[in-house]
Amino acid sequence: MSDKNIGHPLIIFDGVCNYCCGVVNSIIGRDPGGVFRFAPFQSEAAGRILGQYNYPSDSLDSFVLIDGGKLYTKSEAGLRVQKLLGGIHKLLYAFIAVPAPVRDAVYDYIARNRYKWYGKKEECMIPSPDIKNRFLE
75: CATH = 3.40.30
Model pLDDT, residue 2: 40
Among residues of the chain, what percentage have pLDDT more than 70?
Answer: 96
Model pLDDT, residue 6: 67
Would you call 63 exposed, middle or buried from its count of C-beta atoms within 10 A (0-12, 13-18, 19+)?
buried
Domain count, the chain: 1
**Residue range of the domain that includes 96:** 3-134
Cα distance between residue 20 and residue 67, in whole Å: 19
Model pLDDT, residue 105: 96
Model pLDDT, residue 113: 95
Cα distance between residue 112 and residue 91, in whole Å: 26
Q: What is the pLDDT of residues 47-78, one digit of tens each?
A: 999 999 999 877 777 889 999 999 999 999 99
What average pLDDT does the segment 32-55 reach? 93
